[in-house]
């Protein structure tokens, strides 16, 4: 289970972003669909982006790089 302060990483546009979960998850329509506020920093340029990320996809992303890419391609700034 992810929690505030956990370190995470994603691949976006071929660049690696690292960050941590900075805010709590919340329910959407009582369906336990959790979104987490995360702050991501590009490893090379220190560019910062903010994303809301699906907790279930984050869990799967630990073992599957293509899911990492899908998360951030699905979400927009």
Whether residue 1 lies inside any domain: the answer is: no
Model confidence pTM above 0.75? no
pLDDT of residue 31: 47
Torsion on CA atoms 43, 48, 49, 53, rounded to nearest 10 = 60
Whether residue 21 lies inside any domain: the answer is: yes
Whether residue 2 lies inside any domain: the answer is: no
Mean pLDDT of the region 16-30: 62
- Are 39 and 23 spatial neighbours (Cβ–Cβ below 8 Å)? no
pLDDT of residue 73: 45
Which range of 3-12, 18-27, 38-47, 51-60 scores highest in mean pLDDT? It is 3-12
Give how many domains the chain has, as a whole number: 1
CB atoms within 10 A of CB 35: 17
Residue 16's pLDDT band (boundaries 50, 70, 90)? confident
pLDDT of residue 77: 35
């Amino acid at each position: 289970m992810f929690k505030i302060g956990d370190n995470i990483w994603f691949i976006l546009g071929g660049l690696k972003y690292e960050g941590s979960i900075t805010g709590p998850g919340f329910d959407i329509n009582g369906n336990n669909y959790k979104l987490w506020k995360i702050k991501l920093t590009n490893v090379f340029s220190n560019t910062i982006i903010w994303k809301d990320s699906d907790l279930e996809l984050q869990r799967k992303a630990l073992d599957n790089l293509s899911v990492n890419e899908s998360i951030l391609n699905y979400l927009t700034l």
